């Protein structure tokens, strides 16, 4: 008969594990589990998940002479090992109180109530002390210890002793073996975290590749411009050399870390100084920059300004000023960045190709910025063809 209880409890443990697996696949919960640090709101949501699973474990348990073989401790300990005391302690208290009130006259109600709280506290204490590679082992160990506390309390608090010993003799092995379910639940979250790290590694590789593709194409033209100024305006030539060196320094310092937006604007201005020296009065650039210390991906604005100048302003067949406006505006919780020009206007096919990812290899500047923004923030460029010119906008936040 005890063997039947073991098989039944393993079946119920499998049910809880599979249910947790399905929950972890839901986008709202997967996004939480993937985080490196959890907010109070995250921990509150996770606590609800594990509390519900613990209560379900009690409802789904097997009644034997006033005791209930269940999976409650499995979920309490899993919550503590994975997410810490702010999850396991509320889960242990609430599910323990539920067990106490569910069968208040049951001889094992008080031992199960006490051991549930113990499991919540004990597993939570191990949260920051366990290396990720050992969480499965320690989770199972803490679960076994917690169930042994249950058994000891049943023996000490329950009468008659013959019935207490009969219950212990029947439920001990199923309860201990069932704790391997903790290993499966921990492994599910570990797999999510590993997948996240793999995705981050791929993103990092993509970032590096995209940044290498966004190399300046105007260096030779800049050098020719500087050479021409050396003859009749040496001071201007010196200023342009400083602008070029600033521009190149920013490019050489490219990495996957976010940089202060002020450095990004400095990079834009260095580029614009050289282009204005080349094209003279045909190009005017206006800056509308709010004071902000927000960080942004490197080399994210300059390619947009370059695109506005080369593909918007220069092809114009008139003698009017070409105007490019660079704007950085503080909003409530994010910063809006825009580059607007009064040039010939972007072709709708180009916009469609950027959004669909179907860009020719020789026209990847805008697409690379669009893709990098999507990798960082989940949303890329917003491109609008105006009556006269093009408006490109995007948002960043800390």
The band of 30, judged by pLDDT with boundaries at 50, 70 and 90, is confident
CA atoms within 13 A on the CB side of 336: 11
- The torsion angle over the Cα atoms of residues 325, 326, 327 and 333, rounded to 10 degrees, is 150
For residues 37 and 215, which has the higher predicted lDDT (pLDDT)?
Answer: 37
Predicted confidence at residue 207, as pLDDT, reads 58
Over range 158-187, report the average pLDDT. 92
Give the chain's mean pLDDT. 87
Predicted confidence at residue 366, as pLDDT, reads 85
For residues 147 and 195, which has the higher predicted lDDT (pLDDT)?
Answer: 147
Predicted confidence at residue 214, as pLDDT, reads 47
Report whether 86 contacts 47 (CB < 8 A): yes
What CA–CA distance (Å, rounded) separates 164 from 110?
Answer: 13
Measured in degrees and rounded to the nearest 5, phi and psi for residue 105 equal -90, 0
Can you give the pTM of this predicted structure?
Answer: 0.59
Over range 249-257, report the average pLDDT. 70
The band of 35, judged by pLDDT with boundaries at 50, 70 and 90, is confident
Question: Three-state DSSP class for 37?
Answer: coil
Predicted confidence at residue 215, as pLDDT, reads 54
CA nearest 205: which of 372, 397, 357, 362?
Answer: 372
Question: How would you class 172 by CB atoms within 10 Å of its CB: exposed for 0-12, middle for 13-18, buried for 19 or more?
Answer: middle
CA nearest 123: which of 175, 52, 73?
Answer: 73
Determine which of 11-15, 231-235, 248-252 has the lowest per-residue pLDDT on average: 248-252
Domains of the chain by range and CATH? 2-194 (1.10.1760.20), 214-396 (3.30.565.10)
Question: Three-state DSSP class for 78?
Answer: helix
ω into 197 cis (within 30 of 0): no
């Amino acid at each position: 008969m005890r063997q039947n209880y073991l098989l039944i409890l393993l079946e119920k443990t499998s049910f809880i594990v599979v249910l947790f697996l399905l929950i972890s696949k839901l986008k709202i919960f997967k996004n939480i589990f993937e985080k490196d640090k959890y907010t109070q709101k995250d921990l509150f949501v996770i606590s609800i998940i594990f509390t519900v699973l613990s209560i379900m474990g009690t409802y789904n348990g097997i009644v034997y002479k006033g005791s209930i073989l269940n999976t409650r401790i499995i979920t309490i300990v899993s919550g503590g090992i994975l997410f810490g005391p702010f999850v396991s302690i509320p889960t242990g208290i609430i599910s323990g109180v539920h067990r106490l009130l569910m069968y208040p006259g049951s001889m094992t109600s008080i031992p199960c109530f006490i051991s549930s709280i113990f499991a919540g506290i004990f597993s939570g204490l191990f949260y920051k002390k366990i290396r990720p590679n050992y969480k499965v082992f320690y989770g199972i160990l803490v679960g076994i210890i917690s169930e042994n506390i249950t058994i000891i309390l049943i023996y000490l608090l329950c009468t008659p002793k013959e019935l207490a010993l009969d219950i212990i003799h029947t439920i001990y092995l199923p309860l201990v073996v069932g704790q391997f379910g903790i290993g499966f639940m921990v492994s599910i979250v570990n797999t999510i975290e590993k997948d996240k790290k793999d995705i981050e590694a791929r993103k990092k590789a993509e970032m590096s590749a995209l940044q290498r593709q966004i190399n300046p194409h105007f260096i030779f033209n800049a050098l020719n411009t500087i050479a021409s100024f050396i003859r009749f305006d040496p001071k201007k030539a010196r200023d342009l050399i400083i602008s070029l060196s600033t521009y190149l320094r920013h490019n050489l310092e490219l990495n996957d870390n976010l940089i202060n937006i002020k450095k990004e604007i400095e990079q834009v201005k260095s580029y614009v100084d050289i282009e204005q020296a080349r094209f003279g009065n045909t190009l005017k650039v206006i800056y509308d920059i709010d004071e902000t210390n927000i960080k942004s991906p490197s080399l994210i604005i300059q390619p947009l300004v370059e695109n506005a100048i080369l593909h918007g302003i220069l092809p114009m067949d008139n003698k009017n000023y070409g105007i490019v406006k660079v704007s950085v505006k503080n909003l409530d919780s994010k910063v809006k960045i825009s580059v607007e020009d009064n040039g010939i206007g972007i072709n709708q096919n180009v916009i469609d190709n950027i959004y669909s990812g179907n860009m020719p290899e020789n026209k990847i500047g805008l697409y690379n910025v669009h893709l990098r923004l999507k990798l960082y923030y989940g949303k890329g460029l917003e491109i609008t063809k105006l009556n006269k010119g093009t408006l490109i906008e995007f948002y960043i936040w800390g």
